[in-house]
């Protein structure tokens, strides 16, 4: 059950552990919309003694402050279970996921937090089955993970694989890496986050030093990983060779044969030069 009313801005507190930071430019845009058309959608809060704690609508609340409003329309939520904090956390996550305005890092964090809240609400999912890593192990554990992913798929509209991958990425990033990535362009691309999550914490730190330095020594996560691994970037020829080699293994046997026929004289010459045929006969 919920109640709608106008609340003084001075009585509303924003929790420090919110997943999504306020985008100041978007808040200023909303401020102008508020001045032009008024507030169309109320914020969501929960009573906290004589004050209120924000659940959803940080951008709308910030916009109202920028517009110098004294009050804002709000919906006062009433938790229906004993786990009120987790219930409100779930509401915050689903409200933002429903608006689809998370960046990649925020989405990964939201889904990881969604899983934590799910396990609080379904404590049986923490028991039973042999445990391997987060996504493998005993049959019962597999079923529990599937149950969560099925629930998350239905509530967020994301595929099961998307949910699993997002959680895997977030938990693969060290807490220090997560904090350093916030507010940077690298938090926008899931492929960048996955590349970082796939390496250990020390490498993550070194990569972030390279891409976030002033000035940055690498323009991309991929370049930074190459520098950490090799001490330098690939040359143009090395990049081309790597692309060709990676592509060859993906070709069918017939397609590779077609490539060999097209370059047969170069291949024969190289075979003679390096004695490949002699090795075969020997």
Report yes or no: 52 and 76 within 8 Å, Cβ to Cβ: yes
Domain covering 1-78 assigned CATH 3.30.43.10 in the classification: no
Computed over every residue of the chain, the mean pLDDT equals 81
Confidence band (pLDDT; 50, 70, 90) for 143?
very low
pLDDT for 100: 54
> What does the pLDDT look like over 152-193, one tens digit per residue?
666 566 677 888 899 999 999 999 999 999 889 999 999 999
Residue 7, helix vs strand vs coil:
strand
Q: What is the structure's pLDDT at 125?
A: 57
> What is the pLDDT averaged over residues 239-265?
88
pLDDT of residue 126: 58
- pTM, entire model: 0.56
Average pLDDT over every residue of 246-262:
91
Secondary structure of 31-53 as H, E, C letters: HHHHHHHCCCCCEEEEEECCEEE
Mean pLDDT of 72-94: 73
Q: With 60 as the cut, is the pLDDT of residue 147 above it?
A: no
- Mean pLDDT of the region 19-28: 81
CB 206 within 8 A of CB 228: yes
Question: CA–CA distance from 244 to each of 102, 185, 241 (Å)?
Answer: 36, 30, 5
Please report how many Cα atoms fall inside a 13 Å half-sphere around the Cα of residue 180, on the Cβ side.
18
Range with the poorest average pLDDT among 124-133, 162-171, 269-278: 124-133
Residue 74 has pLDDT above 80, yes or no: yes
Q: 97: pLDDT confidence band, cut at 50, 70 and 90?
A: low
**Can you tell me the distance from the alpha carbon of 259 to that of 264, in angstroms, rounded to the nearest whole number?**
8
Return d(Cα 12, Cα 51) in angstroms, integer. 6
With 0-12 / 13-18 / 19 or more C-beta atoms within 10 angstroms meaning exposed / middle / buried, residue 171 is middle
Using one digit for the tens of pLDDT, what is the confidence trace for 193-231?
A: 999 999 999 999 999 999 998 899 889 999 899 888 887
**Which tokens sit at 251?**
């070709």
Q: Which of 72-81, 85-94, 134-143, 195-204 has the highest mean pLDDT?
A: 195-204
Structural tokens at position 109: 């964090």
Which residue is it, tokens 């239905």? 154
pLDDT at 162: 84
Domain boundaries, the chain: 1-78, 83-172, 177-233, 253-281
Query: What is the reported pLDDT for 190?
Result: 93
Q: Which whole number is the average pLDDT over 15-22?
A: 78
Of 92, 226, 104, 114, the residue nearest 169 (C-alpha): 104
Locate 200 and state its tokens. Answer: 């250990």
**CA-CA distance, 80 to 207, in Å (whole number)?**
45
Across 113-132, average pLDDT: 63
Average pLDDT over residues 70-89: 76
Cβ distance 91 to 124 under 8 Å? Answer: no
Give mean pLDDT, residues 35-59.
88
Provide the pLDDT for residue 142. Answer: 43
What local confidence, expressed as pLDDT, does residue 64 receive? 95
* pLDDT score at 200: 95
- The answer on pLDDT for 266 being more than 60 is yes
């Amino acid at each position: 059950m919920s109640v709608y009313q106008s609340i003084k801005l001075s009585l509303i507190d924003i929790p420090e552990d919110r997943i999504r930071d306020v985008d100041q430019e978007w808040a200023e845009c909303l401020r102008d919309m508020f001045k032009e058309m008024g507030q169309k959608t109320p914020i969501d809060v929960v009573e906290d003694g004589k004050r209120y704690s924000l659940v959803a609508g940080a951008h709308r609340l910030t916009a109202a402050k920028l517009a110098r409003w004294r009050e804002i329309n709000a919906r006062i939520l009433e938790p229906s279970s004993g786990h009120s904090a987790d219930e409100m956390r779930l509401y915050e996550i689903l409200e933002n996921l429903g608006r689809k305005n998370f960046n990649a890092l925020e989405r990964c964090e939201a889904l990881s937090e969604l899983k934590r809240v799910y396990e609080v609400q379904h404590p049986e999912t923490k028991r039973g089955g042999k445990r391997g890593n987060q996504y493998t192990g005993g049959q019962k554990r597999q079923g529990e993970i599937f149950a969560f992913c099925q629930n998350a798929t239905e509530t967020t509209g994301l595929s099961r694989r998307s949910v699993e991958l997002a959680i895997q990425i977030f938990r693969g990033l060290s807490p220090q890496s997560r904090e350093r990535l916030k507010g940077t362009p690298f938090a926008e691309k899931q492929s960048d986050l996955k590349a970082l999550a796939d390496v250990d914490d020390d490498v993550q730190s070194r990569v972030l030093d390279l891409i976030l330095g002033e000035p940055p020594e690498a323009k991309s996560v991929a370049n930074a990983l190459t520098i950490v691994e090799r001490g330098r970037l690939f040359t143009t020829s090395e990049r081309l060779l790597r692309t060709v080699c990676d592509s060859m293994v993906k070709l069918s046997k017939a397609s590779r044969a077609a490539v060999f026929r097209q370059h047969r004289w170069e291949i024969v010459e190289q075979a003679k030069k390096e004695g490949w045929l002699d090795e075969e006969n020997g």
